């Protein structure tokens, strides 16, 4: 009986986590992210701090710090009808940024899985 209850709880948790995923936000591995930004003219945004950005960034990335008070104002300058490729250090802040961007009407956000730490 305990196994059935645990199995039910596990299934419930798995389905509830999946339902929280937003189809407008896509998390992709480094190889896919790199391939697209190499061949297409994309809106590439580094959402880390200016200090982190100064230590190294992906070529062509614009730095818009997700924790800055001006973040929401700065993202309004982007084209909402085009995909936006974002990354942070490890993936947490870029998810925060992606959710904020969805609130402001962005429909295609591509997040680098594992963030800049995963960039080779």
Which is the catalytic residue, given 47, 86, 88, 97?
88
Q: Which residues of 31-41 are buried (b: 16+ CB within 10 A; e: fewer)?
A: eebeeebeeee
Q: Tell me the C-alpha distance between 103 and 33, whole Å.
A: 23
What are phi and psi for residue 67, nearest 5 degrees? -90, 0
Q: Tell me the C-alpha distance between 1 and 20, whole Å.
A: 29
Q: Tell me the C-alpha distance between 82 and 116, whole Å.
A: 22
Q: How far is CA 60 from the centre of its chain?
A: 17
Work out the widest C-alpha separation in the chain, in whole angstroms.
Answer: 57
Catalytic residue flag (residue 17): no
Residues tagged active-site: 88
């Amino acid at each position: 009986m305990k196994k059935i209850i645990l199995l039910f709880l596990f299934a419930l948790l798995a389905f509830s986590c999946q339902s929280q995923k937003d189809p407008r936000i896509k998390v992709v591995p480094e190889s896919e992210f790199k391939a697209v930004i190499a061949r297409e003219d994309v809106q590439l945004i580094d959402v880390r701090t200016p200090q982190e950005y100064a230590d190294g960034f992906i070529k062509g990335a614009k730095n818009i710090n997700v924790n800055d008070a001006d973040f929401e104002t700065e993202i309004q300058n982007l084209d909402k009808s085009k995909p936006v490729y974002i990354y942070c250090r490890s993936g947490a802040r870029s998810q925060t940024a992606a959710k904020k961007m969805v609130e402001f009407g962005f429909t295609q956000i591509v997040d680098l899985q594992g963030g800049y730490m995963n960039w080779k």
